């Protein structure tokens, strides 16, 4: 019995630190629009960072960020089965 308790104590942190991998490129618009406010904020921030990195931008424009989120969400309303990534080039405000 003592060995079982020790094993559980040793293995519990391993199980508790399990990670979830999400393919961001597979998120569809309908999933994005159904996210909670916190999830949507985090996902939108990740998208903004990824897109700006890809474009070589090193500054954050918070006004453009908010406009881009609204543009993507609006685009997604009419393309619920498409991926959010496919809508980025159509919805992002260009410099």
Q: What is the pLDDT of residues 23-79, one digit of tens each?
A: 888 899 999 999 999 999 999 988 888 888 888 888 888 898 898 889 889 999 999
Cβ-contact 11, 68 below 8 angstroms: no
Any domain includes 86: yes
- Looking up residue 41, the CATH number of its domain turns out to be 1.10.890
- Residue-number span of the structural domain to which 60 is assigned: 24-91
Q: Residue 74 contacts by C-beta under 8 Å, 6 or more apart in sequence?
A: 91
Any domain includes 45: yes
Any domain includes 2: no
How many domains does the chain contain in total? 1
Region 10-18 average pLDDT:
57
Any domain includes 53: yes
């Amino acid at each position: 019995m003592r060995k079982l308790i020790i094993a559980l104590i040793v293995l519990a942190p391993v199980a508790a630190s399990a990670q979830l991998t999400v393919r961001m490129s597979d998120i569809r618009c309908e999933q994005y629009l159904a996210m909670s406010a916190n999830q949507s904020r985090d996902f939108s921030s990740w998208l903004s960072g990824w897109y700006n990195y890809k474009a070589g931008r090193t500054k954050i424009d918070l006004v453009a960020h908010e406009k881009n989120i609204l543009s993507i969400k609006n685009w997604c309303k009419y393309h619920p089965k498409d991926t959010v990534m496919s809508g980025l080039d159509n919805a992002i405000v260009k410099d």
